[in-house]
Structure 1
Amino acid sequence: MTRYIAGIAAFLVLCGVVGWLAGTRLAEAAADGRIFGGGEFVNYGSWRITQALGSPDSDPVLRAWIARTGILPLARSEVAYFFTDTAPGDAPLDGGCDYEVRVPEIGARWWSLAAYDADHKPIANRLERYSINSDAGHSRIVLSRAAPAEEDAWLPLGEADRFELLFRVYQPDTTFDPAAPEALPAIERIGPC
């Protein structure tokens, strides 16, 4: 009887370890962008969105990604999250390059643009500036390591190699249509890398 109980206990421990390892690897794969739950992405040029982010219908893979990255989404009715890690031509966004992001008039209460490193963390920089939002009044934002002439419209890239952008649109109104031409920010590489 003791052997039987010990065997069951060993089996349960083994199952727990295997489950923990599988869950950890799944969360890492989701956070690294190798897999992503929550349904299909909808692409708008180089920007993409998933309707499941901020929804109670999100699946376990999306929930693992949220837990791993620490990005806690609000409800879909409050904010739309657009992601990109590519520049025009599908080239990866490179921290050694300079970019200009032009934000059009957005039919929403507020917007913000933030840059994250490959680990989905805000990019460390000397200004401790991690995003620029509509309150700043800029429609043209420079992303680079070195400060441009207009430093107040600058989102520093610090020492990041690869990075991604997150464009949040808070309380979009009925005029906001991401499928419309030029509805989302345009990204352009400026100067040599």
Structure 2
Amino acid sequence: MNKLRAFRWPLAVLLVLAVSVLFLFLTIKHGLGKSSLKNGDWYTSESIGSADADVMVRAVIAISGLLASTREDSMYYHLKSVGGQPLSLNCRYRIEGDDYDADWWSITAYGWDYYLIPNQEKRYSFNNENIIRGDDGSWVIHLSAEQADGNWLPVGPSGAPVASKSSKNDFDLLLRLYTPGDAYLQQPATASLPVVALEGCS
């Protein structure tokens, strides 16, 4: 009987740890949760880079690799679906935009495993300095696995094994704005952002 009691405490501790790890995993998988703000199909959080960020926001940032700096210096917007449909390798997307009130901005594609997507072009993002613009200063990025003309941002399978995939989207986008203007700092849910549209799927 004493031996059974001796085993109960370690088993109880292991069970509590297992449940805690599962809860943390599900929370991180869900993302920023209640702290997130929506702007079109983009999501952000006023807590990212802030001293007020709670432990869950900090965990999401640590796992997803945003490397967030202070909120006054940067804003981050995340997109993983268009019109409620997860970003898919079988589809082609069009990103339209213009200049934004920030010293520097970039749009980067990441695999579902949070790493840059391997591709022969070794092209992982576009920014305000290397993007090809129209005569009016506006620009278009073609986001697809199939090669496209102009500003083509290649996507493809993530480097991690497919068996370990736990998300519905095949990849996602991260918009970084460094030294952003007041609109992003004070009204992040309504500030001007690139528009991502679905062009078609195979």
User: Normalized against structure 2, the TM-score is what?
Assistant: 0.76
Residue 175 to residue 72, structure 1, CA distance change in 2 (3 Å): closer
**Whole-angstrom distance in 2 between the partners of 1:114 and 1:27:** 26
Secondary structure, counterpart of 1:83 in structure 2: strand
**Whole-angstrom distance in 1 between the partners of 2:49 and 2:141:** 27
By how many angstroms is 1:129 displaced?
2.0
The answer on 1:143 being equivalent to 2:143 is: yes
Q: Answer yes or no: is the 8 Å Cα contact 1:27–1:68 preserved in 2.
A: no
Q: Which of 114, 117, 120 is 1:126 aligned to?
A: 120
Q: Answer yes or no: is the 8 Å Cα contact 1:30–1:62 preserved in 2.
A: no
Match of 1:36 in 2: 32
By how many angstroms is 1:184 displaced?
0.4
* Percentage identity across paired residues of the two chains: 29
Runs of 4+ with >6 A deviation: none
By how many angstroms is 1:192 displaced?
3.4
By how many angstroms is 1:86 displaced?
1.5
**Amino acid aligned to 2:36:** F
Q: Answer yes or no: is the 8 Å Cα contact 1:30–1:64 preserved in 2.
A: no
Q: Which of 149, 153, 156 is 1:155 aligned to?
A: 153
The structure showing larger relative contact order (alpha-carbon pairs under 8 Å, at least 6 residues apart) is 2
User: Normalized against structure 1, the TM-score is what?
Assistant: 0.79
Residue 27 to residue 69, structure 1, CA distance change in 2 (3 Å): farther
Residue 175 to residue 30, structure 1, CA distance change in 2 (3 Å): closer
Secondary structure, counterpart of 1:136 in structure 2: coil
Match of 1:189 in 2: 198
**Farther off after superposition, 117-126 or 172-181:** 172-181
**Whole-angstrom distance in 2 between the partners of 1:68 and 1:178:** 23
**Whole-angstrom distance in 2 between the partners of 1:130 and 1:100:** 16
Residue 15 to residue 96, structure 1, CA distance change in 2 (3 Å): same
Residue 141 to residue 54, structure 1, CA distance change in 2 (3 Å): same
- How many pairs align? 182
By how many angstroms is 1:15 displaced?
6.6
**Amino acid aligned to 1:187:** V
